[in-house]
Structure 1
Amino acid sequence: MCCSGFLKIMMFIFNGAIFVAGAAILGVGVWVKVDSGSLLGVLEEIEDVPDAFAQLVNVGYLLIGVGAVLLVIGFLGCCGAIRESRCMLMTFFCIVLIIFLAEVAGAVVLFVFQGLVKELVVDLETQVRKSIEKDYGNENSLTNIWNHTMDEFKCCGFMNYTDFDNSPYHNMHGKLFYPPTCCNATRDGDVVVVCPALTARDSRVPGCFLKLVELLEDNAVIVAAVALGIAFVEIAAMVVSLVLYCKIGDNKA
């Protein structure tokens, strides 16, 4: 009896962690979808973007789905422990096992095909340049998204200020000026402060893609720690649920 009580407490702890993680992921997913002024918004405006990057647009839906599934799993595990339902515990075990195997498979695929990332980035850069040259300064939706992204991340273009060469905005100002963020300038209300080409070159404001990579690298340890923590909780929850499942079976025998 004492052992069963301890197992139930452990189930509550692990499933509580899963439930909280699900709520957090769900919240992030909703935030990503609501935040239209981001790099994901830029991808939505680009034609012929590589498929691997085009799918990033749906990352918000993916996070919402994963968060919702984790919420259900956390509830299922706690409910199964309270009611001592072998069916619910086994269902919980199978779902967590499938998710864990999918995570391992995803990690293996990323490791094996990481060499393709550079090739995909080159393809993406080409399409982004074409999009900027065609519509920046001419198409309000894309222009506003780029301006919001550059203001928020303090960056300039995809790789650097030269991405705006031959764009409608560039041509509109005599091919000598760039967006204000390319030289650390600010907007004066609704008036766009142009950035001289020489200043843009000397200011060396990094591209938005480089800023994104820097952000990911700076938080790589946190991401890895969270991933390992989730994997540990999943394994521990599966072990405890299986032991509790067998214990309940012995008590009913």
Structure 2
Amino acid sequence: MGAYEEKKEACGTVCLKYLLFTFNFLFWLAGGVVMAVGVWTLVEKSNYISLLPSKTYAASAYILVLAGAIVMVTGVLGCCATFKEQRKLLGVYFVLLLCIFLLEILAGVLAYIYYQQLNDELKQNLKATMINKYRQSDENEHITKAVDELQQEFKCCGSNNSTDWVESEWIRSADSKGRKVPDSCCKTEIDLCGQRDHPSNIYKVEGGCISKLEKFILEHLKIIGAVGIGIACVQVSVYIFLQLKEVFSKHNNLCYLPSLWSADYWNGVYMLPIPKSEGRAILKECG
């Protein structure tokens, strides 16, 4: 009977270890997804970030990249901690999980806050950026490139409409060579096509580029917020699972591997490694 109980306990330990290993492997994969979303946000249409006066949008993406990298490191560390059962390693694992949780919540909150203020910010700043900085100096070359890409990609012209370009410092200068709008406003972009602003030649989009850029950024913000808060919720769910598992284990009078967040672990009641018998780790009865 004793041998049967020992075998049963050892089996429970092994099953729990592989369960935690599987969780950490999935956690590592999730880290890759989080980091990929952050990198995708920064790389795809990265020029548009220069058109935004606030750095909140970029900050949310950078936070996701950082969180994703930490998640991947934590996943590997968790796999090692599961099998080596080193107290210090588990402590580092816990601290990293806490950092990840806070970073992901922060990214989600920043994305939500910026979501609320984006429309007003674009209305106040996009037009001013276009008319004052477009083709004004080498320092603003990235803005010029962003505006041209924006107008061609989204088939729009001007912040609100094509008449916004009448106020442009560049359009008023001799450098424009008589253009009424930049060539990037043309449906078929060729040199000096902006000299003719007839509707058959120039994009006439209701709401101008503001509505197009706002829609684009909002879609990205939704993804950033959903990924950040979603992964954080998964972590909370895992924490609850581990607590329920511990309660269930104690109820069955068996000391399975204590949860990292449990008072028992930090008070050192169950010290690892567990004594071994016949080369296999065994568990003692509680009490």
- The alpha-carbon distance between structure 1 residues 90 and 202, as it changes in their structure 2 partners (threshold 3 A), is closer
The runs of 5 or more residues in structure 1 that have no matched partner are 44-48
Identity %: 27
Q: Which residue of 2 aligns with 1:117?
A: 116
Question: Where do 1:1-253 residues align within 5 Å?
Answer: 1-30=10-39, 38-43=47-52, 49=53, 53-101=54-102, 103-104=104-105, 117-118=116-117, 121-139=119-137, 141=141, 142-171=143-172, 172=176, 174=178, 177-182=180-185, 185-188=187-190, 191-194=191-194, 196-199=196-199, 203-204=204-205, 207-215=208-216, 226-227=227-228, 229-239=230-240, 243=246, 245-246=257-258, 249=270, 252=274
Q: Is the 8 A contact 1:19 1:75 kept in 2?
A: yes
Aligned residues: 238
Other structure's SS at 1:194 match: helix
- The alpha-carbon distance between structure 1 residues 31 and 106, as it changes in their structure 2 partners (threshold 3 A), is closer
- The alpha-carbon distance between structure 1 residues 235 and 54, as it changes in their structure 2 partners (threshold 3 A), is closer
2-side partners of 1:57 and 1:70: how far apart? 20
1-side partners of 2:46 and 2:220: how far apart? 22
Greater helix fraction, Structure 1 or Structure 2 = 1
2-side partners of 1:67 and 1:221: how far apart? 17
Q: Is the 8 A contact 2:134 2:170 kept in 1?
A: yes
Bigger relative contact order, structure 1 or 2 (CA pairs below 8 A, ≥6 apart): 1
Largest Rg, 1 or 2: 2
Question: Aligned-pair distance for 1:205?
Answer: 5.8
Question: Aligned-pair distance for 1:81?
Answer: 0.8
Question: Aligned-pair distance for 1:150?
Answer: 2.7
Other structure's SS at 1:246 match: coil
Q: TM-score if structure 1 supplies the norm length?
A: 0.69
- The alpha-carbon distance between structure 1 residues 232 and 246, as it changes in their structure 2 partners (threshold 3 A), is same
Other structure's SS at 2:131 match: helix
Root-mean-square deviation over aligned CA pairs: 4.0
1-side partners of 2:220 and 2:192: how far apart? 34
